[in-house]
Amino acid sequence: MKNNNLIILGETIKPGQSKTINFSFAKLYTSTKVEIPVIIERSKKAGPTVLLTGGIHGDEINGVEIVRQVIAKKINKPRIGTIICIPILNIFGFLNADRAFPDGRDLNRSFPGTKTGSLASRVAYHFTKEILPHADYCLDFHTGGAQRFNAPQVRISPDNEQLLELSNIFNAPFTVFSSNLNKTYRNTCNGMGIPILLFEGGKSLESNKYIVKEGFDGVVRFLNHLKMLGEEHKIVEAKKPPVLIEKSRWIRAQRSGLLHVKIDCNKYVEKDEFLATITDPYGTMRFKVTAPNAGYIINVNHAPIVNQGDAIFHISTEKTDPKGVLESGE
């Protein structure tokens, strides 16, 4: 494996060099340039290239913080190979504390993008053409949308042994089988033959130190496996292997009203276990929510008010392995 010059966005990064490149693609209404910092660290020794991305959804702060900590603690200075960090890919959404771009487009439904399409599509296009082809592995960091809190989990395609092995190395508390959706970053990586782990944890517009630690420790284990981690950095071994979620279902609100959650996310529950109540504001209605089956709760809706049909819990539905390895989908 040769360690040649790396050319990204017209900039040359030599072996052993550190460089921050501004990915500039648009301007605000004020004519102020919008620039996405791309932080690149290269070893003098040849090795793989790992791409870390956060903030594809602008209101998902945990992912931004995970990548920030990787940079701040110098985990991104590899012993071999190259590490590319993009803490905030959707800078427009981040500025507005919003999931989407200003035109309402979801960047993670705009890949691989087009050169003359919507703003989100153009960002996806240039990222896919000019940055992504350099990556040998991708780690992408997300949270639950709105007020839905995700247990820390890695999502991978079913029937992919390589991704299953890599997710076990990352070792988040849960690994979730989740089919690739059309026009997502993950599906684009799959089409290009680039292994990608998508980490989910917490909820939007919240920085959760427990979730961030799970994601950060997973990055350290992942880089250590690739022999890219500097010798000065400490590896935090996980206490147990991930719980594998092969199948799952959403538990939806059967009434509209005030939601009172009675259990924690991550919890294993038995069939008919008490999960929550839904009440009206007037003290005349109280509806009890129970588990339809035994399984792990991997997502909890933290919204204080729900409408009939809203997703309020995500629960695994099948046991598959006596080793404590269980089951679900995205």
CB atoms within 10 A of CB 236: 13
C-alpha angle 66-313-150 in degrees, rounded to nearest 5: 5
Report pLDDT digits (tens) over 270-301: 999 999 999 999 999 999 999 999 999 999 99
Q: With cut-offs at 50, 70 and 90, classify the pLDDT of residue 319.
A: low
- 6-225: CATH topology is Aminopeptidase (3.40.630)
Stretch (H or E) spanning 238: none
Q: Which two tokens stand for residue 88?
A: 């905030």
For the segment 63-72, the average pLDDT, to the nearest whole number, is 98
Judged against a pLDDT cut of 50, whether residue 190 lies above it is answered with yes
What is the predicted pLDDT for the residue at 114? Answer: 96
**pLDDT over 70, % of the chain:** 96
Judged against a pLDDT cut of 90, whether residue 107 lies above it is answered with yes
Judged against a pLDDT cut of 60, whether residue 232 lies above it is answered with yes
Q: Are 144 and 200 in contact (CB under 8 A)?
A: yes
Judged against a pLDDT cut of 80, whether residue 328 lies above it is answered with no
CB atoms within 10 A of CB 20: 12
Using DSSP, how many helices (H) and how many strands (E) does the chain show? 6, 19
The pairing of beta strand 196-203 with beta strand 82-86? unpaired
Instruction: Sketch the domain layout of the chain as residue ranges.
Output: 6-225, 247-316
- Specify the CATH number of the domain 247-316: 2.40.50.100
What's the whole-number average pLDDT of the chain? 94
Q: With cut-offs at 50, 70 and 90, classify the pLDDT of residue 166.
A: very high
Judged against a pLDDT cut of 50, whether residue 326 lies above it is answered with no
Q: Which two tokens stand for residue 279?
A: 């009440």
Radius of gyration of the chain (CA): 21
Rounded Cα distance between 134 and 80, Å, is 15
Alpha carbon of 229 to those of 67, 76, 222: distances in Å?
15, 8, 9
